[in-house]
Chains A and B, each alone.
Chain A
Amino acid sequence: MRMGEYIMTKSEATRDAYGEELLALGQVNERIVVLDADLSGSTRTSRFARAFPERFFNVGIAEQNMIGIAAGLATAGKIPFASSFAVFALGRAYDQLRTSVAYNNLNVKIAATHAGLSVGADGASHQALEDIALARALPNIRVVVPADGVETRAAVRTAAAVEGPVYLRLGRPKVPVLFGPEHEFAFGRGQKLREGSRAAIVSCGVMTYRALRAAEALAREGIEVTVVNMPSLKPLDEELLLEVARSCGAVVTVEEHSIIGGLGSAVAEFLSEEHPVPLRRVGVRDAFGRSGTPEDLFQAYGLTEADICRAVRELL
């Protein structure tokens, strides 16, 4: 049984949606300022930069300084969005994010693009597979991984509207559009996109559409599964997780990230304390990425629809 209306006829990169929404926000909110570290073309902050040059700071290739400047701007009431690739925004500037931003609960939004294996050919140095783990481990930071462009726009608006630091994890490639324009984002809220009783697949980001495809393939075998989109990794939608764990009795998590510290960890940590059920984590298994096309990489690292289906069958 299908719950939400998901579309999948158009596709859009979440970074493109970010750049577009940031521009729109800039027009209505003068407190929005944007920082980038020489990747504004790739992160799509260049659109904001062209429209509002006086509110855009390209700090050069200096991510640590970028995060520190963002913290300083936030102390004076600005709402800084700081962007780079996820590897650099989270990894290179982690201590700055920790001490200058998160510790002070400052109103800085880290919007990092090019997360995960889907960066593709640039290889391991540019494929962040641990950024969710890093962000989740810091108190005060909310962690968001939108599944498509529509959800990205909603998440950017919500991130700007709340007080406090937010990590937005965005991707490079185009991904199918899953949601209609009425789709809303709220921290701590996920949605059931499909309902079935045999298992629940919980996914986020670019993997949600693969989870839906896997659910369709399983349905053709007579295996009906629930699919939950969980864009808010911190806070999690604990109520929804409990509900699907109780009703399905088995959970498979799916993410374009290491299974250490990401969505799979977050779900396992919660369910193992509150309602233990058999669980499988589909994700990168303690490995670095490498060069290749996104599709070849998803195959090589076990992130395909077939891998998701296999994980579900293992639990039946």
Chain B
Amino acid sequence: MIPPLDEDKRLRLEEVAREMRRRILEMIAEAGSGHPGGSLSAVEMVTALYFHIMRLRPEDPLWPERDRFVLSKGHAAPVLYAALALRGFFPPEELRGLRRIDSILQGHPDMKKTPGVEMSTGSLGQGLSTAVGMALAGRMDGKGYRVYALLGDGEIQEGQIWEAAMAAAHYRLDNLVAFLDFNGLQIDGPLEQVMSITPVADKWRAFGWHTVAIDGHDLQEIVEAARGAVAGRPTMIVARTVKGKGVSFMEDEVGWHGKAPSREQLEQALRELT
């Protein structure tokens, strides 16, 4: 059972989230490339998952009873790496190696190279299907673990997402909980201009998912939504977020989807995140 988030823990998680944002920006700046916008929008969800919701053993990353997390929007790798490092899956010094040759931290998540990464992703639309497979296996084996997935809003334009959505409901996978990082922007512009996904919650409801809409930067709402998963159906948490959240000049700016901050921009961002 996931415990409720008390005020004390919430304040601590807010500090973790700030630290996550600093790490994300530092590692991307150091690498000289990467995806800050969609990493920053997902910080609260990933923080809540790794520091409150999921049952994990960082010292035993393949513990069979662990909860699983699939970052289906693989380009947000920095948010996952920051969480894994701060949670103790590998030393935080590794973050400096992001995207470099021989680093354990690839440009997109790699389950073979990085402790704690459950599935290699990066080609959008594939992660949710693998999460369905993990959830099916957990049920077959009578294990109590849950599988969490984080989807991008642009990502759900991929047809495979809806194949997986159909299957998860068909198999009544109530051990599967997905988050949609609904920040409204994709590489080429606002989703509403490129390819609209609205009404998004209705779509998931129509596919048979227990669907709730929350503020994706509110830790309390995130934890309550995860606690509110129902029996007999998969859960979709549509999380309204701001791309680039936490850094004034990145917020809601499409140009920060896949660009590293300069040294000066990094310093300004870190000042905002103290």
Contact = CB atoms under 8 A, between A and B. Distances in A.
B137 A100 contact: no
B164 A65 contact: yes
B158 to A, nearest CB: 9
Interface residues of B, number: 31
A271 B58 CA distance: 49
Interface string A218-258: 00000000000000000000000000000000000000000
Contacts of B160: 62, 64-65, 68, 96
Interface in A35-77: 54-55, 57, 59-60, 62, 64-65, 67-77
Given A60-B166, A64-B160, A76-B141, A69 B133 contact: yes
Interface in A80-96: 80, 95-96
B112 A105 contact: yes
B48 to A, nearest CB: 23
B112 A104 contact: yes
A78 B160 CA distance: 22
B94 to A, nearest CB: 20
A80 B130 CA distance: 13
Contacts of B170: 60
Consensus secondary structure, chain A interface? helix
Interface stretch (B83-91, B117-125, B185-193, B246-254): B117-125
A72 B120 contact: no
Given A65-B160, A69-B130, A96-B160, A103 B137 contact: no
Interface string B116-148: 001111110110111111111110110000000
A104 B119 contact: yes
A99 interface: yes
A133 B111 CA distance: 26
A68 B164 contact: yes
B68 to A, nearest CB: 8
A192 B171 CA distance: 48
A73 B133 contact: yes
Contacts of A80: 133
A100 B129 contact: yes
A106 to B, nearest CB: 9
Interface in B154-186: 159-160, 163-164, 166-167, 170-171
A76 B132 contact: no
Contacts of A69: 129-130, 132-133, 136, 164, 167
Nearest to B130: A72
Contacts of B135: 72
A55 B132 CA distance: 15
Consensus secondary structure, chain B interface? helix
A77 B133 CA distance: 11
Contacts of A98: 123
Given A59-B167, A68-B160, A77 B137 contact: yes
A68 B120 contact: no
A64 B163 CA distance: 8
A147 to B, nearest CB: 32
Contact of A72 (B112, B122, B125, B134): B134
B119 A73 contact: no
Contacts of A99: 120-123, 126
Given A104-B111, A104-B112, A76 B137 contact: yes
A56 to B, nearest CB: 11
Contact of A54 (B138, B140, B164): B140
B49 to A, nearest CB: 18
A95 B122 CA distance: 11
B110 to A, nearest CB: 8
Given A76-B138, A99-B122, A100-B119, A65 B132 contact: yes
Given A68-B126, A68-B129, A105-B112, A75 B167 contact: no
A100 B126 contact: yes
B129 A95 contact: no
A111 to B, nearest CB: 17
26 contacts: A59-B167, A60-B163, A62-B160, A64-B159, A65-B160, A65-B163, A65-B164, A68-B132, A68-B160, A68-B164, A70-B133, A71-B133, A75-B111, A75-B133, A75-B134, A75-B137, A76-B134, A76-B141, A78-B137, A80-B133, A96-B126, A100-B120, A100-B126, A104-B111, A104-B119, A104-B120
Interface of A: 33, 54-55, 57, 59-60, 62, 64-65, 67-78, 80, 95-96, 98-100, 103-105
- List of 8 A-B pairs having minimum Cβ-Cβ separation, nearest first: A72-B133, A68-B129, A76-B137, A65-B163, A62-B163, A69-B133, A72-B130, A72-B134
Given A76-B134, A104-B120, 13 more contacts: A57-B136, A60-B167, A62-B160, A68-B128, A68-B164, A69-B130, A71-B133, A72-B133, A73-B136, A75-B119, A78-B137, A95-B126, A104-B111
